Amino acid sequence: MTDDVLGSTTNKHVQDDALGSNPDVEDITEDVTPEDFDFDAFVAGVRPGRRAVRVTARADLVAETEKLVIQFDDLDDEDKEGELAEQILEEYQALKAQILGSRRTFVVEARSDHRRREVAKRMEKLGIDKPGKKASEEEHADYNRELALHCLADAIVVPSNVTVEGLRKLYETASSEVDKLSGAFFDASNNPTKGVDPNLSLRRYSTTHSG
């Protein structure tokens, strides 16, 4: 049994052509002229950047899968072909299904600096004021962390019922999952097209030419 059971495969047959780097292809895209470009129509079609990320609820079970791998590795070569090995594999697959089944996709939308200020104003109405100049570093850090949670809750559009309190509990239990959401929020706001490259072609090539 190896970690490949989790689905992390590699493929040595991928060629550079799958990335779309073909020297024989000529770019014939015409330059946009002022007469052809309708700026108002372009602006009307602009939408805030969005990023999707999967949050895993049962990442704790990964340790259980690792224990099974260790248990399998400790078997004698003969036992690795027997019923105990099959039982270990079945338990491993069941845990893997539980881990993957606990994933949920969250969609985070970009927010402007103006929106951030609006969030800060809403916090003031809730009695959460920005610390003054004489406040300690810890007070500033606590406020900035709270502001970040409020901004993140405001930016998550799927699911639609994410709350600050829920994010706070998630952070206390699994801070790495909130970090994922925060990273997606940063990318949506600052680099919304990050990841839009020929990797999809690469994956398709890898899938159809594997084995």
- Mean pLDDT along residues 50-63: 96
Does pLDDT of 47 surpass 80? yes
Paired tokens of 193: 């097209």
pTM: 0.71
Range with the poorest average pLDDT among 28-32, 148-152, 154-158, 175-179: 28-32
- Mean pLDDT along residues 71-87: 91
CA distance 122 to 154: 11
Q: How far is CA 88 from CA 6, 58, 62, 116, in A?
A: 14, 20, 14, 50
CA distance 37 to 16: 35
pLDDT of residue 9: 40
Alpha helices of the chain — where are they, by DSSP H? 39-44, 62-73, 83-101, 113-125, 137-155, 164-173, 175-190, 199-208
